[in-house]
Structure 1
Amino acid sequence: MRAWVVRAGREGEREKTALDGGLAIAGWTGLDDLTDVESREDIRALVEAVYPGEGARVISNWTGQLLRFRHEIQVGDLVVLPLTSWDLAIGRVTGAYAYRADAPDSMRHVRPVEWLVRDVPREAFRQDLLDSLGSLLTVFELSRYNGAERIAEIVATGTDPGRPDADRFAAALTSPSKLYEAVSKRGPGTPLKISIRDFLAVWNAPRRYSAVVDQIEQDLSLLGLTTTPPFTEGSLDSEIAVLPLGDEPDRERTSAITRSGIQVEEETEQQPVAYLVSNLDAANRLPESVRVGDNLRSAMTLMILRKYAQLPVLDEDGRLRGVVSWESIGRARMSNPSAELAEATAKAREADRSDDLLDWIGQIYQTGYVFVRDHDLKVCGLVTAADLAVQFRTRVRPFVLIEEIEQRLRRVVDAHIPLEAIKDAVKGVVSARRLDSIRSAADISFGAYKHLLKNEENWRRLGWTADRDLFLSWLEECRHFRNSLMHFSPDPLTDDQLAPAQGMLDLLRSLDPHS
């Protein structure tokens, strides 16, 4: 069994017919019956004949979608239909492809479907599966994250069981109240430990936006719970303990936290969400090291084997006593050819995992690295200049995608749509004063393009052959994505979360390759 998404048009124009008629419907107006078309090459030939103005990339993409709809979707497979109400319908395919010659042109290619549920809220999907629904395609498979089995479980129980590789216990924590129950059932010696990623999933949150952090902190306060380290620190895969904070003392006059033996960090005046050193994965991976008293030969051998430029020198408690590097070895051996580890150990800087990352950028670029210590003053990580490069590439990429999308939209609109038409399109959504200041597409907001291109004449002026409703709907998803970037989060975006922007940019590049 497989699971597929078959959209009903981005404006939902095929939605009612699909639900009322028990159908999954593909569009592609003008395309004739595919019943006797067996191969990909034959489908491609038909698509090329019907849409002669399209380039090879568009033809190949449409061919693939039609091949899925005609041949790959099988009886018994599940179909997800995103609805204009923002809910989703889920059905099971009950028959082969059919062509309805007497139906409207955009409703002829169908697969019979038994709709099992028609009002599944998006909240029923965990974020990774919900992100997988984001695609510009009309027909595509939910192949990642055990999608088919999870869709079937949502039909049966109304609940998404989560990724198969996720912690099964964590997947059962589907609400703050269930988290409280899990914590309260545990004894003092067995605190609930969970990754920050799975902890956020309790609130169905993929990242730590400020609003999400505020909500979680309010809920924890009401439930009498706390986390250590704070859930605002560390990477998404770092582990935290969730502890009872509000229970009364026992007969020995001690709290549950004291009985657990876990040291809870005191609250600071630091902002609850920031780019902390601990947000880097490298800050939470204990680096290989040598110990005080080891011989220099061991350190050099390890550095060659691992291609390390430096190693921390730790004492028996795991605390930093210095660093040995090829530079420090060279300096020591120049004055004493038989120098050992103690003479080749140089001073090293340590960042606390709770420090603001921005405060350490200069030091890391200057020396190439900084060691990271935890709240017990033990080394817990090593951040290098390469780690910073990866971090900021990840951060910058979403903004670069949105910037190129906006630049391409501005250029094509200015080139093809008169200024008065631009003003007319946004007249009802901006103030009169703002309207007078518009001199080009650069003066309208990202959201205004929806109103501008909804006008049939303006769309015609662009000369694009893409589906306008699909384009506008995807543009709206990009607007939501763009707005979400304005809400600070220290956590990186996944490829699935980037899909709306990347898909729109790919389409714009295909529609206007020379801009």
Structure 2
Amino acid sequence: MRAWVVRAGEHGERERAALDEGVLLAGWLGLGDLAEARTRDDVKVAVAAAYPDEGPYTVGNWTGQLYRFVHEIQPGDLVVLPLKSLLVAIGRVTGDYEYRSAAADGMRHVRRVEWLVTDIDRQVIQSDLLDSMGSLLTVFELSRFGAAERVTALGEGKADPGRPDADEFAATLTEPTKLFEEVRRRTSDEPLALSIRDFLAVWGIQRRYPADTERIKNDLEARGLVTVPPFTEGTLDSQIAVLAGGAEPDESGTSAVTRLSGSTVQSPAVQSAAHAAGHLAEEETEPQTVAYRVSNLDSANRMPESVRIGDSLGTAMTIMVLRGYSQLPVLDADGRLRGVVSWESIGRARMADPGADLQTATVRGQEADRSDDLLDWIGTIQQSGYVLVRDHDHKVCGLITASDLTVQFGTRVRPFVLVEEIEQRLRRVVDRCIPLDRIRAVVPRGRASRVNSAANLTFGAYGHLLRVPENWAALGWAIDQQHFLAALEECRNFRNSLMHFSPDPITDDQLLPAQGLLELLRSVDPQI
């Protein structure tokens, strides 16, 4: 049994029909029946024909989602439907793919589902599972952190049991002092290892904004502690060790960091931290800024499927067809990259020699280090479609595709687009309804003369402007002023935090207040 998320439209426009009719609705306006599309290539042909103006990356992304919806989702699987109301519905798939030709466009691609529960509050779902639900894709699998078992429990009305590998001890580190005491209590042979997510939670933080990161660095420095690898690198679920980096040497004359680097530890998390400890620069424990590293992408930390030297070309081709891959890394016995086999390289090799083997079809692959700046690799990924990722031991540990970039930067751009539309709508209605002299009245006197329209106002000024009864009445909106102003202030705080930039993704829950304000503005001022 597997667990999936199938959204009901970007703004939840299909969720009422999904709940009332007991169906999953895939959308995709203008796309015909996929019942006869047996393979991924068949689906791709149909998508390309329906959307001839779309590029290959978009076509490939949509193909993957639709292939999952038509073929990979099976009766008996669980499905999660996030709702606009901040609630979550969970159901069990009961039927195969259907195409309803008589239904409205966008309501034709369906899977039957029995809804088990439709009113789960997101607050009862732990943050790691909520984050997994935050993808912008319409159809995707929840495959991490024991998701299927946890969704099963939620569907039965039970509490989210949490990830099976959850660090129960980390949950007891509720404040920095407890963390410091625990590190001091431990020996260098048994360092404190935990995820970056759990580490940040000690300070009550969910995302690595610069101000919060600086505060943690200062706390660590004051206590003589260091994290390896740095807590500013990697995803929120990457493992780090917290060490007494400033402690004096022991009887052997070595520091805790050096002892950890040379120790024979058993925990994979501590082994990773130990290796990273040996690569710290002299007198440097943390980078001065939070760079957007290759390792910040989830796919860079997820071991890709591969073939090994000595495997047959048929093995590689079988895996590529089964998984819909365009290429596969070819690794040696130690997990290091020896090249890549792709459909293009296979075609070229077979043109020269119909009996070509895997070695002949293997070509040089693009390989980035986890610590590289992601921006340096975007051009390569766009040109070749992928880049493989290696760890400190030069072993392959991930694969980034153009599709991963599309999802990642779509996730990062979406909040800015949302806030920009809110500001544009506020400017338009204020300029239309409120005279310039009253707009200038909320601006400090020394700057009032430079205000020629609402475009010259800061975002925070709208709250002051619309708090004036005369200005609020001028809008003519039949909505509650206090609730609107509260939502506006919440959006202002969200906008300010957004402008500080963080390498960590913004979840759907964090976007909801701004989305709600935008929907309200669209309702009271429906002009496009």
C-alpha separation between the residues in 2 aligned to 1:475 and 1:353?
39
Q: In the alignment, is residue 430 of structure 1 matched against residue 408 of structure 2? A: no
Matches of 2:390 and 2:445 in 1, distance apart? 54
Asked if 1 retains the 8 angstrom alpha-carbon contact of 2:387 and 2:401, the reply is yes
Equivalent residues of 1:422, 1:452 under 8 A apart: yes
Counterpart for residue 390 of structure 1 = 407
Q: Please list the CA deviations of residues 312-340 of structure 1 after superposition, one character each: whole Å capped at 9, or x if unmatched.
A: 11112211111111111111111111111
Partners of 1:271 and 1:329 lie apart in 2 by 45
For the residues of structure 1 that align with 2:161 and 2:445, how far apart are their CA atoms?
A: 47
Match of 1:99 in 2: none
Give the drift of 1:297. Answer: 1.2
- How far is the alpha carbon of 1:147 from its aligned partner? 8.1
Q: Which runs of 5+ in 2 are unaligned?
A: 1-12, 17-84, 87-118, 127-159, 264-273
Paired residues in the alignment total 362
- Establish whether residue 203 from structure 1 lines up as the match of residue 203 from structure 2: yes
The answer for the alignment partner of 2:259 in structure 1 is 259
Q: Distance between the aligned counterparts of 2:356 and 2:317, measured in 1?
A: 13
Checking the alignment, whether the CA contact within 8 Å between 2:188 and 2:243 is kept in structure 1 is no
The whole-number CA distance in structure 1 between the counterparts of 2:161 and 2:226 is: 26
Aligned to 1:501: 514
Cα deviation, 1:45-77, whole Å, max 9, x if unaligned, reads: xxxxxxxxxxxx9xx9xxxxxxxxxxxxxxxxx
3-state SS of the aligned residue for 1:478? helix
Q: Please say which of residues 473-482 and 234-243 is displaced more in the overlay.
A: 234-243
Q: How does 1:115-514 map to 2 (within 5 A)?
A: 143-146=121-124, 164-165=162-163, 167-260=167-260, 261=263, 262-263=274-275, 264=277, 265-267=279-281, 271-424=288-441, 426=442, 429-432=443-446, 434-514=447-527
In structure 2, the partner of 1:155 is none
| Equivalent pair of 1:146/1:164 in contact (CA under 8 Å) | no
* Cα separation, 2, equivalents of 1:248 and 1:271: 24
Contact 1:145 1:164 in 2 (8 A): no
Per the alignment, residue 33 of structure 2 pairs with none
The one-letter code matched in structure 2 to 1:246 is: G
> For the Cα contact (< 8 Å) 2:304–2:398, is it kept in 1?
yes
8 A contact 1:196–1:236 mirrored in 2: yes
Moved over 4 A (4+): 162-166, 268-271
How far apart, in 2, do the equivalents of 1:142 and 1:167 lie?
25
User: Per the alignment, in what secondary structure is the counterpart of residue 241 of structure 1?
Assistant: strand
Q: Considering only aligned residues, what root-mean-square deviation do their CA atoms show, in Å?
A: 2.4
Distance 1:220 1:230 in 2: 12
3-state secondary structure, aligned to 2:458:
coil
Q: Is the 8 A contact 1:145 1:163 kept in 2?
A: no
Query: Which residue in 2 is equivalent to 1:15?
Result: none
Amino acid at match of 1:332: A
Q: What is the aligned-residue identity percentage? A: 63
The separation in 2 between residues aligned to 1:364 and 1:271, in whole angstroms, is 27
- Displacement of 1:142 in angstroms is 9.0
Q: 1:6 is matched with which residue?
A: none
SS in 2 for 1:193: strand
Aligned pair in 2 of structure 1 residues 147, 331: CA closer, same or farther (>3 Å)? closer
TM-score w.r.t. structure 2 length?
Answer: 0.65
For 1:439 and 1:257, how far apart are their aligned partners in 2? 60
Distance (whole Å) between structure 1 residues aligned to residue 427 and residue 415 of structure 2: 19
